Amino acid sequence: MKTILIATDFSAASRNASLYGAELAKALKAKIILCNAYTVPQPGGALNVSISRYDIMTQTDKRLLDEADVLDPTKEMIEIICDEGVAEDVIVNIANEKKVDFIVTGMKGSGNSLKKIFGSTVTSLIKISSIPVIVVPGKAAFSIPKIILYATDMSPGADVEHIEQLKPITDTFESKLYLVKVVKDEHELEFEQLHTPGRVKEELKKLNVSLQYPVDTDIIHALDEFISEQHVDILVMIPHKRDWLQRIFRKSETKEMIFHTHVPVIMIPEIPI
């Protein structure tokens, strides 16, 4: 049975991500782990008042139970866990211990840098997690992921193994998967088409993957156009190069960027060579 971990900090963005994750879990017939990381503040001020760890843990448990009531009133598919510590470390430790398939978390909102868009916790989570992270925008509503866009900066052959990690979703929903690499001009397009090995094309065909090379000097604009034209439900990215996503956000001046829309983003960790 599949397991989805939903990380919450009880914010509005987290609530929406939790609702999305719960609907995804139901569609996949997966178990849900709802988790929160809390910290114990140091005593301060004139009264030097402190709150005990037990009190904070009890309050957190209560809030998780309330959230679980909304997501799964029957409590048949949900488990709650809270732990003290840095949020991204707690999330990853629980995810690894429970052998979850996906981590679901909320997207912070606006901005033009990776940290501002995803939030510092999610940015750190993406860096350290060996499990795919689904980042859900604040206004995203769950829909069956019939069309998935996998944006890459690598040669197509390098992504076949990563595509396998999407099979729980693509197989269940019979999704159409587009593997997209944006090229800057017609010369680069011709190069990519000529140098993609036939065996890679055949492997992608077996996986029901359509290989596309949009021509555009602005990556974010090209992806935005593709999402709109193909009615994409989920965007997938793998930051093979640590500065790749940063480069996208720095260069783009488009106000209505894809990360400000309804499209959830799956960040898949790179498979070690």
Q: What is the pLDDT of residues 147-186, one digit of tens each?
A: 999 988 777 766 777 788 888 899 999 999 999 989 999 9
Contact 147, 235 (CB under 8 A): no
What CA–CA distance (Å, rounded) separates 71 from 54? 25
The CATH classification number of 1-42+50-142 equals: 3.40.50.620
Do domains 1-42+50-142 and 143-273 share one topology? The answer is: yes
Q: Which of 239, 87, 229 is nearest to 154 (CA)?
A: 239
Q: Can you give the residue ranges of every domain in the chain?
A: 1-42+50-142, 143-273
Q: Confidence band (pLDDT; 50, 70, 90) for 260?
A: very low
* DSSP states along 81-130: EEEES-HHHHHHHHHHHHT-SEEEEE-----SSHHHHH-HHHHHHHHH-S
What CA–CA distance (Å, rounded) separates 261 from 202? 33
The CATH classification number of 143-273 equals: 3.40.50.620
Q: Confidence band (pLDDT; 50, 70, 90) for 272?
A: low
Average pLDDT over residues 77-93: 94
- For a pLDDT cut of 70, what percent of the chain falls above it? 82
113 or 146, which is more confident: 146
Mean of all residue pLDDT scores within the chain: 82
* DSSP states along 163-231: HHTTHHHHHHHT-EEEEE--BSSHHHHHHHHHHS-HHHHHHHHHTTEEEE--B-S-HHHHHHHHHHHHT
Q: In what order do the strands lie in the sheet with 147-151?
A: 78-84, 31-38, 3-7, 102-106, 133-136, 265-267, 234-237, 147-151, 176-180, 209-212
Contact 3, 31 (CB under 8 A): yes
| pLDDT score of 189 more than 50 | yes
What CA–CA distance (Å, rounded) separates 178 from 187? 22
What CA–CA distance (Å, rounded) separates 176 from 138? 25
Q: Give the 3-state DSSP-derived string for 12-74, with helices as H, strands as E and coil as C.
A: HHHHHHHHHHHHHHHHHCCEEEEEEEECCCCCECCCCECCCHHHHHHHHHHHHHHHHHHHCCC
Q: Confidence band (pLDDT; 50, 70, 90) for 145?
A: very high
Q: Supply the Cα-derived Rg of the chain in whole angstroms.
A: 20
Contact 123, 90 (CB under 8 A): no
The per-residue pLDDT for range 109-144, each reduced to its tens digit, is 544 444 444 557 787 888 889 999 998 988 888 999
